[in-house]
C-alpha cells in the first residue's frame, strides 16, 4: 500500500518568513496530492491540492510543487501570518484507492 512520509514534524518561523513542508510517497500510481490544515480542536480542511499532470499550483500565499520522478511534493507558504499556525498534513492517493496521510507538521508562526 501507499506510504507517505512528511518532514519536518515541527516548524517554527518568524512572521513574514516562508515555510516549506516536504512529503515523499511510495506508490508511483498515486496521482492526487492534497494538503490539509488542521487547527486545534477542528477537523482537517483542504487548503490546496495538485494532480499528477501538473507540476506546480499556486493560490495566493500557498503553493505546491510535485516531482513525480522523485515521488515527492512540497507545500510552500510565503509571508507567513500568525493565523497560519496549525498542523498541516500531506496526503496521496492513486485512482480508486484510499487517501493516505503523512504524519503531520506542526507550524508555529511567531509574531
Binding segment (CB under 8 A) for other proteins, from list 13-21, 40-48, 54-62, 68-76: 40-48
One of 21, 33, 89, 107 touching other proteins (CB under 8 A): 89
> Which own/partner pairs from 95-103 qualify as long-range (CB within 8 Å, at least 24 positions apart)?
95/29, 95/31, 95/32, 97/2, 97/27, 97/29, 97/30, 99/34, 100/1, 100/2, 100/3, 100/4, 100/25, 101/4, 101/36, 102/4, 102/5, 102/6, 102/23, 103/5, 103/6, 103/9
Q: Is 34 in the site for other proteins (CB under 8 A)?
A: yes
Q: Is 61 in the site for other proteins (CB under 8 A)?
A: no
32 or 63: CB nearest other proteins? 32
Q: Is 111 in the site for other proteins (CB under 8 A)?
A: no
Residues that bind other proteins (CB under 8 A): 4, 6, 34, 36, 41-46, 49, 89, 91, 93, 95-99, 101-104
Amino acid at each position: 500500500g501507499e506510504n507517505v512520509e512528511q518532514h519536518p514534524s515541527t516548524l517554527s518561523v518568524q512572521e513574514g518568513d516562508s515555510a516549506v513542508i516536504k512529503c515523499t510517497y511510495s506508490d508511483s500510481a498515486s496521482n492526487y496530492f492534497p494538503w490539509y490544515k488542521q487547527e486545534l480542536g477542528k477537523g482537517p480542511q483542504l487548503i490546496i491540492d495538485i494532480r499528477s499532470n501538473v507540476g506546480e499550483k499556486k493560490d495566493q500565499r500557498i503553493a505546491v510543487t510535485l516531482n513525480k520522478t522523485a515521488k515527492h511534493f512540497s507545500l510552500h507558504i510565503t509571508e507567513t501570518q500568525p493565523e497560519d499556525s496549525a498542523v498541516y498534513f500531506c496526503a496521496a492517493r492513486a485512482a480508486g484507492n484510499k487517501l493516505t496521510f503523512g504524519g503531520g507538521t506542526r507550524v508555529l508562526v511567531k509574531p
